[in-house]
């Protein structure tokens, strides 16, 4: 079974500052890792994913995450945040190589609050 820990429930940051949202996972098998974003009163959208290959993955809006197998981490970073990045961010994990039913296990979420 997999589990995910998001160490920060809330991260306040000023606009244009860098940010890191932390995610650690636990699994006895190979995993796929994800970051989802939830804007206020909306559903979840996939922000980025690690399936295989390069351990550094990027999103189209400037976020990146690095898969670190030795530290079992998948932290999300952005060098300069915008007000529009204010949202809740969920880290999730599933067993790798599963092309059918996916048991996505979610972390408890980190609320990113960007202020001017």
Taking CB under 8 A as the rule, which mask of x and - marks residues 19-58 in contact with another protein?
-------------x---x-----xxxxx--x-x-------
- What x-and-dash track marks residues 52-91 binding another protein by CB under 8 A? --------------------------------------x-
d(CA 78, CA 80) in angstroms, rounded, equals: 6
Query: Under a CB-based contact definition with an 8 Å cutoff, are residues 67 and 55 in contact?
Result: yes
Residue matched to tokens 């994913």? 49
Would you count residue 103 as binding another protein (CB under 8 A)?
yes
Burial category of 7 from C-beta neighbours within 10 Å (exposed 0-12, middle 13-18, buried 19 and up) = middle
- Choosing from 10, 30, 71, 108, the residue that interacts with another protein (CB under 8 A) is 108
């Amino acid at each position: 079974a997999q589990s995910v820990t998001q160490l920060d429930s809330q991260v306040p940051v000023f606009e244009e500052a860098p940010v890191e949202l932390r995610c650690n996972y636990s699994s006895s098998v190979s995993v796929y890792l994800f970051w989802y974003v939830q804007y206020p009163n909306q559903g979840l959208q996939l922000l980025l994913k690690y399936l295989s290959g390069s351990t550094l993955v990027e999103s189209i809006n400037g976020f990146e995450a690095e898969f670190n197998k030795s530290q079992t981490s998948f932290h999300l970073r952005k060098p300069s945040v915008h007000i529009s990045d204010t949202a809740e961010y969920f880290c999730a994990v599933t067993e790798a190589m599963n092309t059918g039913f996916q048991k996505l296990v979610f972390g408890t979420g980190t609320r990113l609050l960007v202020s001017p």
